[in-house]
Structure 1
Amino acid sequence: MKELTLPMLIAVWEEMFGQSLFWALAVLAFLVTLAYVFVLLRDRSLSMRRFLLAQLSMPFGAIASVMFVQRITSSRLRDIGGPIDVLVLLAVGAVGAVGLAILVYTTQSLLRKQR
């Protein structure tokens, strides 16, 4: 593996998660992103109350994403072998935290009426 390309990453993720789960997650992430952009354009400002609640959900997203990836890959925390494993685990946690925060903020904005 001399080059890191997008098609190669997609192939690795399809192998890790399975083709159907990977593409379902990709479509879900795309739809949540579209809904988030819609909410931002519709409201034209961030609600600090919703933003705070979304930030409070971030640790749960980080933990859930790390547990999900460990479950899918049949690995545990004791299987961490080196610095790159720690970096990947931190990246997975960060993506899960941000993803859940965006989902929580978007859900709150779509379900609650604007004041």
Structure 2
Amino acid sequence: MKELTPSTLLAVFTEMFGSGIFWAMVGLAAMITAAYLFVLIRDRKMSMRKFLIAQLSMPFGAIAAVVFVMLMTHSRPADIGGPIDVIVLLGVALAGAVGTAILVYTAQSLLRSAQTGH
């Protein structure tokens, strides 16, 4: 792999996760992002209480993302071979943490408004 292009990344992710799981993750991420944008536009402000709870969920999302990737690639911590592996796993952890925070914030906003009837 001499160039890092979007088509190369698509091929790598499709090979790594399988076509079905990869596109399911893309679809799920798109739906959560759309719901998050809906909540932000609807509420016109961010709730700091919900934001704090979302931030507290971030370590769980980071760990879950790394475990998920390691399971999908049939890897274990002993397989981490060098600095690039650590950088990739830190990126996966960061993506999992941010994704979980967005999911938790959105879920809180949607569930709370459904309970109160607003």
* TM-score between both structures, scaled by the size of structure 1: 0.97
CA root-mean-square deviation: 1.1
Encode CA deviations 1:47-96: one digit per residue, 9 max, x unaligned. Answer: 00000000000000000000000000000111100000000000000000
Structure 1 stretches of at least 4 aligned residues deviating more than 4 Å after TM superposition: none
Corresponding residue of 2:16: 16
Corresponding residue of 1:74: 74
Identity %: 65
Corresponding residue of 1:101: 101
Query: Does 1:112 find its partner at 2:115?
Result: no
* TM-score between both structures, scaled by the size of structure 2: 0.95
Other structure's SS at 1:112 match = helix
Q: CA deviation at 1:9?
A: 0.3
**2-structure distance, mates of 1:4, 1:94:** 20
Corresponding residue of 1:50: 50
Q: CA deviation at 1:24?
A: 0.2
Query: Does 1:91 find its partner at 2:91?
Result: yes
**1-structure distance, mates of 2:7, 2:28:** 20
Letter in 2 for 1:46: M
Encode CA deviations 1:20-45: one digit per residue, 9 max, x unaligned. Answer: 00000000000000000000000010
Unaligned stretches of 5+ residues in structure 1: none
Letter in 2 for 1:91: G
